[in-house]
Chain A
Amino acid sequence: MAKITYIEHDGTEHVVDVKTGLTVMEGAVKNNVPGIDADCGGACACATCHVYVDEAWKDKTGESSAMEESMLDFAENVEPNSRLSCQIKVSDALDGLIVRLPESQH
């Protein structure tokens, strides 16, 4: 279990407990956190679960795959700390993780 803070573009914070093994995307969607659409349900096919990982957590969330990099490259408002949240697996090591959401996923 990890406590994850999702911060919407307008500053609204959502702190939820996410089970180990789920992805950061699933943690948001299953708890009705707005701002992560995840149209494809986690197949790395749509780039609508884009998040900015808090700098302090960048290393712990791991490297993105070539497929993810290549999807992100064409998403809107991409930053160096951009990730697709369906590709970040939740583990105890991510307890306290903070991610910020972009203004729009489309």
Chain B
Amino acid sequence: MSDLGANVVILGAGHAGGTAAALLRQYGHTGPISLIGDEPLAPYQRPPLSKAWLKGEADADSLALKPLEFYAEHQIDFRPNTRAVKLRRSDKVVELSDGSTLTYDILILATGARAIKLPVPGADLAGLLELRTAADAEALKAAVGPGKRLAVVGGGYIGLEVAASGRALGAEVVVIERESRLLARVACEALSSFFRGVHETHGVIFEMGASVTGFVGENGHVTGVTLADGRTLPCDAAVIGVGATPNDELAAESGLDTARGVVVDLEARTSDPSIFAIGDVAHRPMPIYDRMFRMESVPNALEQAKQAASAITGRPAPAGEVPWQWSDQYDLKLQIAGYAFDTDEVLLRGDPASGKFAVFHLKGDQIQSVEAINSPPEFMMGKQLIGNRKSVSKAKLSDLSVSMKEVVA
């Protein structure tokens, strides 16, 4: 049963943790709430860091999820620059990095993920950057500008957004990707080649199928990236965007079920009924695909914050969602709904050359996922159809003259 007076401790003050704290108050929770974050800032939005913020179009205030005074006004004990070092489940205590301890009735793990580091020589040189936090973004912003040479290791969304922002700021940008195509893990071939073309038009250089073997530097600062073929590409800074790994050690050490992420149920509850896990760190069920996986996206963080806050305050669980995400590069808006699991056909709607098209991934006559470029109707309707599992007519779906409202078979 829910207890609105329960003592809730939230570990991690990112998008998931911050949202959970605010929702608990919105849903009528009256008990103590502590929000523990290892960054100096109160919860903020990370997506703009690689986009508007990097280009100077957003400031710290506009990034903040809530104004700083919000936390005091709502009796949320927000503690910056603090991390949990140990979880003692037997007596419901968390040990913190400042030496203090906190007891809890309910614990929410929102510890997120961290950037994967390349295990190569020179990886500790100054000028090697990653992009997870506002501090990372600050360092990157200082490193790019007209005439600066920026090497981006990893042709995923983060890498490509940084490349686009880097070009907008006048830097020379080379993207180094291990696979033979961009976005290899997350997007289809049509989309990969489309994005490559757009970036090339904007002057980005690509090194595909290239492995980074190390970094060279002078006076402790990076000056180049060495590749497996023996070449060294000169650079003034390098951004490593090769994926992230969940911060699930605290959970694993305390004996919670983990599987590359903390295993949770549909309420975001872990194998310990007093503990929830939300956001990037959670390995969660996704009923529409009949499997469990871990997602790194804002909509996922928000959804799970809702699940946990609802369960804690005794509200009905939110309706099942269709996962989605977005990316902005140059004047392109990419919106993705769903995941291309178990698909047997890829269907193109519209002409990539027009800069406006969508790629549908089908399982039989049902849509499993859609990647939409500058095509909100395809995204919005596609997302609905993924959720309600209606059958679509492939002929109508691939015919631009048929409205998205009429593609149901």
| Chain A residues close to B by CB (< 8 Å) | 22, 26, 29-30, 32, 34, 37, 39-41, 43-47, 67, 70-71, 73-75, 106
Contacts and interface: CB of A to CB of B under 8 A. Distances in A.
Contact of B326 (A32, A40, A75): A40
Contacts of B22: 32
Nearest to A26: B62
9 A-B pairs closest in CB distance: A74-B380, A45-B326, A70-B376, A71-B376, A41-B45, A39-B299, A34-B26, A39-B302, A30-B67
Nearest to B45: A41
A67 B328 CA distance: 13
Interface residues of B, number: 30
B382 to A, nearest CB: 10
B65 A106 contact: no
30 contacts: A26-B62, A29-B66, A30-B65, A30-B66, A30-B70, A32-B25, A32-B70, A32-B74, A34-B26, A39-B298, A39-B299, A39-B302, A40-B47, A41-B47, A43-B47, A43-B326, A43-B328, A43-B333, A44-B333, A45-B333, A45-B335, A46-B324, A67-B374, A67-B376, A70-B377, A73-B377, A74-B380, A74-B384, A106-B319, A106-B321
Nearest to B48: A41
Nearest to B380: A74
A47 B377 CA distance: 11
B381 interface: yes
Given A32-B22, A40-B299, A74-B404, 8 more contacts: A34-B26, A40-B298, A45-B326, A47-B380, A67-B376, A73-B376, A74-B376, A75-B380
Contact of B66 (A32, A40, A75): A32
Nearest to A33: B26
Nearest to B301: A39
Contacts of A32: 22, 25-26, 66, 70, 74
Nearest to B335: A45
A67 B380 contact: no
Interface string B25-56: 11000000000000000000101100000000
Contacts of A46: 299, 324, 326
A77 to B, nearest CB: 14
Interface in B132-181: none
A67 B333 contact: yes
A40 to B, nearest CB: 6
Interface in B263-316: 298-299, 302
Interface string B176-205: 000000000000000000000000000000
A30 B62 CA distance: 10
B374 to A, nearest CB: 8
Among A32, A43, A47, A73, the most chain B Cβ lie within 10 Å of the Cβ of A43
Contacts of A47: 380
Contacts of A75: 380
B47 A74 contact: no
Contacts of A34: 26
B403 to A, nearest CB: 10
Nearest to A47: B380
A88 to B, nearest CB: 15
A45 B298 CA distance: 12
Nearest to A67: B376
Contacts of B376: 67, 70-71, 73-74
A47 B326 CA distance: 13
B45 to A, nearest CB: 5
Among A26, A32, A37, A74, the most chain B Cβ lie within 10 Å of the Cβ of A74
A87 B319 CA distance: 27
Nearest to A69: B376
A43 B376 CA distance: 12
B280 to A, nearest CB: 16
Contacts of B404: 74
Contact of B302 (A26, A37, A44, A71): A37
Contacts of B335: 45
Nearest to A66: B376
A48 to B, nearest CB: 9
Nearest to B51: A43
Nearest to A34: B26
A12 to B, nearest CB: 12
Contacts of B374: 67
